[in-house]
Amino acid sequence: MFLSIDAGNSNIVFGFFDPSLGEWRHEFRVETARAITAIELGQKLSLFFLENNLGPGDVSRIGISSVVPEINPVLVECAAIFFGVAPYLINGSSYGKLRVSTHRPNEIGSDLMANMTAAYERFEQSCIIVDFGTALTFSVVDEQGRVAGVNIVPGLKTAVKSLFINTSKLPEVKLELPSSAIGQNTVHAIQAGVIYGYTGLVKGMLATIKEELGRDCKVIATGGMSKILTPLEGTFDEVDRNLTLKGIKLITEANL
């Protein structure tokens, strides 16, 4: 199997692609902890493998995208110890053989490059990728596969946590779609503000980007929070939870 590791600010995602089935079969998430060791991470993986009847030998290739540089040595060491595989760590020099190109490869997160690579490989035309993660990002690739640019705003959970941290009376609430856009209590008010507020933000940003591009494009959503904003149903041409994992695989294979 191929293992894509997507290390973000909130979670490290391990996605396993089974070539015999042509699909992503398993996914394992662990909270991103800067102090975690390779041994501790390997222990968590061992338990996951036991629960899913897998063995470390089932993994033959590993690609890593990380936006948390301080944990990169841990991920590389864990791959060597637990799987016996030298992983490929995506970096600014990884994109030369791709159909997607950028003039400033070190300024764009490898996760966003993975998103654009997978989206362009899928549609072969202009794409906007909306990634609902710790940050909410809009990545744009043009019809020639060139990176047009990226927009970044705080993610939904980040916004809720910011309210909780920076106010005295507002609680940290669970992100659920409220019954209306007009809050009837404090929890409802925060949920309505964030859910419907971000719905408007996404629609407005997409409309502005499309107007500036002046051409038709595909819109793809990904990220752990992509299904929270149910009022956005119909806004996206495709919702692909595994988009980043697919891009990591494509970038890794292009460099091996």
> Any idea which residues carry the catalytic annotation?
111
Take residue 221 and report the two structure tokens written for it.
Answer: 């959503």
- How far is the C-alpha of 17 from the C-alpha of 91, rounded, in Å? 22
Are 178 and 231 in contact by the 8 Å Cβ rule? The answer is no
Are 220 and 236 in contact by the 8 Å Cβ rule? The answer is yes
Nearest alpha-carbon partner for 245 in 90, 20, 141: 90
Q: How far is CA 158 from the centre of its chain?
A: 15
Q: Collapse the DSSP code of 187 into the 3-class scheme (helix H, G, I; strand E, B; otherwise coil) and give the result.
A: helix
Q: How far is CA 246 from the centre of its chain?
A: 11
